[in-house]
Each structure stands twice: as structure tokens, then as C-alpha cells.
Amino acid sequence: MKPEEIIGYAAALLTTLAFVPQVVKTWKTRSTKDISLLMFIVFCVGVLLWMVYGLLLNSVPIIAANAVAFFLGAILLTLKIKHG
């Protein structure tokens, strides 16, 4: 594996895992009052576009990171809509 790929995977892992504590906390408490609905809509669209970009480049780190980030963001967005 090339050094730039290692950096890409490490960045993907860290930035994606950063959302896990928020998802867990929100899932447990069902409290979403401090989460911005507009920000998470924009975020989900943004990571979806990054994922498409990764697909176009055939870049596994970009695809993987943004697929997981989209999934986690979509969970938070769903909880925000459901629990307002």
C-alpha cells in the first residue's frame, strides 16, 4: 500500500469515527434539540456528493469514508426529524 493510501485510509477512519459518539448519544437520549436540521441536510448531501466523486475516481478511501459518514449522518438526520 502506498503512503498516500495509508494517509487516505487513516483520514477516512478518523473523520468517519468522529460521528459515532454523537450517533450513540443521540440514539440513547433521543435528544436532538441542539442539532441543526439544515446543517445535517447539507452535510448528508455533501458526503453523498463526495461518495459519487470517489466512485468517479475509483478511490476506495473516499468511497468508504463517505458511505459510512452518509450512513451515520442519515441516522442523525432521521433522529432529528423523528424527535425534533
Assess whether pLDDT exceeds 90 at residue 9.
Answer: no
Residues 15, 17, 19, CA angle at the centre, nearest 5°? 85
pLDDT at 84 (0 to 100): 75
Average pLDDT over residues 62-83: 90
Within 8 A by CB and 6+ apart from 60, the residues are: 54
Domain spanning 3-83: which CATH class is it, in words?
Answer: mainly alpha
Average pLDDT over residues 29-57: 92
Average pLDDT, the chain: 90
Q: What is the pLDDT of residues 14-23, one digit of tens each?
A: 988 888 998 8
Instruction: Provide, rounded to the nearest whole percent, the portion of the chain with pLDDT above 90.
Output: 39
Instruction: Let me know: does 61 contact 5? Beta carbons within 8 Å.
Output: yes
Cell of 19: 460521528
Give Dmax over CA atoms of the chain in angstroms. 45
